[in-house]
């Protein structure tokens, strides 16, 4: 779905899964600094939006997702995962309940599969699930923003900022009143700085929550009764995940950023050495320079010097080995 904000001056369209919104508006680092200072907003209108209504909405979701939501207070934001039977991550949900409706936003293009799964699990519960992507656009206000929220708009507030479920018809007028807009590259740079994983970027077909640090934010370890819970409990209590998320400072002298999937090797062995992992997201940060997230084997030493292709990469721990 193409955002009307791509008509703003300087807008450069994002590509791939983020197609439909602006990557930037011509001043990448200015846009990053604005978000870091708590000003501006980010158009995330390409993300999927679902709602769950009905008297059983919270108790029903509680049985399906990794988070404890059966008594979720109205207005309290949370995030959750849906796992496969083997504990692999299939969906990431960012949600809030407004007292009558659970509002969820998800990665672009994943809402149809998620809706189909939720519909298949309704059984006798008093719930209704709807895809509201055509009606509502997600807009992100950064942490520290004092921008007013239009009356009646549902807000999901976290330590990283506020997500607004804005009527799509109001997107252009909101942008005119609350600009300037910041592009998705600025948003992604701050996400990487904060070590926050993203479905489809830091995940592949075999990722489990422990590898990405999602246990702290999206998984409640004292609840059961959801698909994949056995794997979560077994790895948490008896073992270690095979891989771990790592934050990387990249050599700033390189012109090009390593693309997602670029292999990570020991610097001493070079590109012909053993593959220890791969880059998941690489960005340019207004203060830190080129940085990245990557997945590496759990037993890679914490002080190991790495290279991403030909680019030196110094690691910081995100998930303990």
pLDDT one-digit tens code per residue, 209-245: 999 999 989 999 998 889 999 999 999 999 899 999 9
* 111, 127 Cβ separation under 8 angstroms: no
| Residues sharing a CB contact under 8 Å with residue 278, sequence separation 6 or more, in sequence order | 260, 261, 262, 263, 264, 294, 295
Residues 85 and 126 in one domain: yes
As for how many domains the chain has, the answer is 3
The pair of structure tokens assigned to 292 is: 């990245």
Q: pLDDT band for position 267 (50/70/90)? A: very high
d(CA 32, CA 15) in angstroms, rounded, equals 19
How many contiguous H segments (helices) and E segments (strands) does the chain have? 6, 18
Residues 17 and 162 in one domain: yes
Mean pLDDT of the chain: 96
Residues 26 and 174 in one domain: yes
Task: Please confirm whether the linkage preceding 3 is cis (ω < 30° from 0).
Answer: no
111: domain range?
Answer: 48-131
Asked if the structure places residue 208 within a domain, the reply is no
Residues 179 and 302 in one domain: no
DSSP class of residue 148? Answer: P
CATH of the domain at 306: 2.40.30.110
Instruction: Name the pTM for this structure.
Output: 0.96
Residues 293 and 145 in one domain: no
Read off the pLDDT of residues 122-150 as tens digits, 9 standing for 90 and up: 999 999 999 999 999 999 999 999 999 99
Helix (H, G, I), strand (E, B) or coil at 117: helix
- Residue among 115, 116, 113 at smallest CA distance from 132: 115
């Amino acid at each position: 779905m193409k955002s009307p904000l791509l008509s703003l001056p300087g807008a450069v369209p994002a590509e791939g899964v983020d197609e439909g919104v602006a990557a930037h508006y011509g001043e990448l680092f200015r846009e990053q600094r604005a978000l870091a200072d708590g000003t501006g907003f980010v158009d995330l209108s390409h993300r999927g939006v679902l709602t769950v209504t009905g008297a059983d909405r919270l108790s029903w979701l509680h049985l399906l997702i990794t988070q404890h939501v059966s008594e979720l207070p109205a207005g309290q934001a949370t995030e959750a995962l849906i796992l496969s039977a083997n504990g692999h991550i299939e969906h990431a949900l960012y949600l809030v309940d407004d007292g009558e409706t659970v509002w969820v936003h998800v990665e672009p293009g994943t809402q149809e599969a998620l809706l189909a799964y939720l519909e298949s699990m309704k059984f006798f519960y008093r719930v209704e699930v709807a895809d509201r992507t055509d009606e509502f656009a997600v807009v992100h206000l950064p942490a520290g923003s004092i921008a007013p929220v239009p009356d009646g708009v549902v807000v999901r507030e976290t330590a990283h900022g506020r997500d607004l479920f804005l009527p799509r018809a109001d997107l252009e007028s909101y942008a005119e009143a609350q600009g300037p807009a910041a592009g998705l590259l600025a948003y992604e740079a701050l996400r990487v700085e904060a070590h926050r994983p993203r479905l489809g970027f830091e995940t592949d077909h075999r990722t489990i929550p422990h590898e990405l640090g999602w246990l702290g934010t999206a998984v409640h370890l004292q609840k059961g009764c959801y698909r994949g819970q056995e794997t979560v409990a077994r790895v948490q209590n008896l073992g270690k995940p095979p891989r771990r998320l790592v934050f990387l400072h990249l050599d700033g002298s390189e012109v090009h950023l390593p693309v997602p999937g670029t292999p990570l090797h020991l610097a001493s062995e070079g590109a012909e050495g053993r593959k220890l992992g791969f880059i998941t997201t690489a960005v340019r940060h207004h203060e830190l320079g080129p940085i990245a997230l990557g997945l590496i084997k759990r037993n890679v030493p914490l002080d190991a010097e790495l290279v991403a292709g030909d680019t030196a990469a110094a690691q910081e721990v995100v998930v303990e080995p």
